[in-house]
Amino acid sequence: MKSYSVKTVTILIVLGMITGCSNERTDRQNEQQPVSVQIALPQVNITQTITASGQVVASETAMLSTRVMGFIQAFHVKPGDAVTKGQLLISISNTDILAKKAQAKAMVSEAEAALTDAQKDLDRYKALYKQQSASEKELENMTLRVQSLTAKTESARQLQRETESMLSYTQLAAPFSGVVTQKLADEGSMANPGMPLLVLEKNGNYEVTTSVTETDIAKLRTGMEVMILLKSMSKKITGTISEISPSSSNSGGHYAVTISLSTGKGVLYPGMSATVFFSVPGSSAASVLVPASAIIYKDQLAGLYTISESKTAMIRWIRLGRTFNNQVEVLSGLNPTEPFIASAGSKLYNGIPVQVKSN
C-alpha cells in the first residue's frame, strides 16, 4: 500500500508540473502583443505597357568623307573635341587639283582673249557689211566664230568651277556645331571617295531609337509620351514619339520608332542602352501592382504578408513581373481584391498576431 501511495503522489506531482508549464506557455502567448500594421489593396492598372530595347543617339550625325582621292595630310581635331560650324577638320593633299585649277584658269584666260579678239572682228565686219564692203557669208562666218569661242570660254569657266569644287573636298569643314565622336582613319592614309573619315554629332540634342513588332505598331501614335529607363544609371526620363516608320521591309519585321527626349539631356551620351516603356491606354490587359517596399525576398523567392482568419501575419509567395517607378507587377499569387500588409510597426514573421491600424 505504501508503494502504491508513493507512486500515486509522484504521478500527481509530475502531472502538476506539466500542467503548470502548459499554463505558463499559454500565458506567454496570451501576453504577446499584436503588431500594428497597415493594409492596402493592390492597384489594378488597365493600361498595357509595351517594353522595347533602344539606344540613345544624337539627333544629327554627320559622317565626313571626301569625293577625291589623296593622302590625308592632317586631322585638326580628335575625338571628344567640340567644334563650331565651318571649322576646318581634315586636310587632304591637293597638289594635283591645284595644278588642274591653274590649267583651267589659263584656259579661261586664253578663251576670253580669243573671244574678245573675235568680237572686235565681228564688229568690224558688221560695219563693212553696212558699207557693202563685206559679203553676207563673211559676216556669217565671223558670227559663228564668235559663238564658238563663247561656248569654249564658258566650257573653260565650268572646268575652273569644277576644279574649285574638287578643291573644297580636300579641306573638310564642320557642317554644324557639335562634338567629334569617331576618327576612322590616320594621317598619311589614302582617302578614297566616299570613305568615312570622321564622325561628328550634334551636342545636347539626343533621341532614342527603338523598334516594335507588327502586333504593337498599330497601338502607337506620334506625340505619345513614353518612359525611358537608362540602364547604366538606373535613371528614368520622359520622351515623346516623334517618328514611326511605316515599313519593316528592311528591318526584319520590326518597325523603327524615334523618341525625342524632353528631360535628362545633361546626363546623356550617345550609345547608351535604354529600355522604353510605351503605355497604351484602353487595353483589355490588366496588371496588379503593389509597392516595392511591401515585397520581401528569401533566396530566390519573393513574397508579401497577408492577414489570416486568426488575425496573424501569413506570408504569401508571389511571382513578380515588371517594375514601374516604386511599384512592382504581381503576375500570380495575389488577387486584385485581396488586401496585403503594406507596412508594420515592427518586424513580421509567419504566425505573429497583428492588429490593423485604423486610418
Q: Decide if 198 is inside a domain.
A: no
Q: Which of 155, 187, 219 is the last residue of a domain?
A: 187
How far is 125 from 135, CA to CA, in rounded Å? 9
240-275 pLDDT, tens per residue?
999 999 888 777 788 999 999 866 556 778 888 898
Please provide the average confidence, as pLDDT, over all residues in the chain: 84
- Residue 359: the pLDDT is 60
Count structural domains, the chain.
4
Q: Are residues 81 and 183 in the same domain?
A: yes
Q: Are residues 88 and 107 in the same domain?
A: no
How far is 106 from 293, CA to CA, in rounded Å? 83
Q: Decide if 18 is inside a domain.
A: no
Q: Are residues 226 and 124 in the same domain?
A: no
Residue 319: give its domain's CATH number: 2.40.420.20
Q: Are residues 70 and 176 in the same domain?
A: yes
Decide if pLDDT at 307 tops 50: yes
| Residue 237: CB atoms within 10 Å | 20
- Residue 9: the pLDDT is 43
Structural domain containing residue 358: 32-46+282-359
Q: Decide if 199 is inside a domain.
A: no
Q: Decide if 243 is inside a domain.
A: yes
Q: Which of 260, 280, 300 is the last residue of a domain?
A: 280
274: cell is: 535604354
67-112 pLDDT, tens per residue?
888 899 999 999 989 999 999 999 999 888 888 889 999 999 999 9
Residue 237: give its domain's CATH number: 2.40.30.170
Q: Are residues 235 and 215 in the same domain?
A: yes
Q: Are residues 180 and 209 in the same domain?
A: no
Decide if pLDDT at 25 tops 90: no
Question: Smallest Cα–Cα separation from 112: which of 154, 164, 170?
Answer: 154
Q: Are residues 356 and 296 in the same domain?
A: yes
What confidence tier does 282 reach under pLDDT thresholds 50, 70, 90?
A: low
- Residue 46: the pLDDT is 62
Q: Are residues 234 and 333 in the same domain?
A: no
Q: Are residues 225 and 178 in the same domain?
A: no
**Backbone angles phi and psi of 182, in degrees to 5:** -145, 145
What confidence tier does 151 reach under pLDDT thresholds 50, 70, 90?
A: very high
Cα–Cα separations (whole angstroms), residue 98 to 72, 121, 167, 193, 195: 16, 35, 7, 18, 22
Q: Are the C-beta atoms of 59 and 265 separated by less than 8 Å? A: no
How far is 153 from 110, CA to CA, in rounded Å? 8
Q: Are residues 357 and 286 in the same domain?
A: yes
DSSP state of 312: B
Rg (CA), the chain: 43
133: cell is: 564692203
21: cell is: 508549464
Q: Are the C-beta atoms of 127 and 207 separated by less than 8 Å? A: no
Q: Decide if 27 is inside a domain.
A: no
Q: Are the C-beta atoms of 179 and 76 separated by less than 8 Å? A: no
Q: Which of 280, 304, 320 is the last residue of a domain?
A: 280
Q: Are the C-beta atoms of 253 and 213 separated by less than 8 Å? A: yes
Residue 130: give its domain's CATH number: 1.10.287.470
Q: Are residues 158 and 259 in the same domain?
A: no
Q: Are residues 286 and 268 in the same domain?
A: no
Cα–Cα separations (whole angstroms), residue 337 to 40, 224, 287, 343: 10, 31, 12, 18
47-78 pLDDT, tens per residue?
677 888 999 988 888 999 988 888 999 999 99
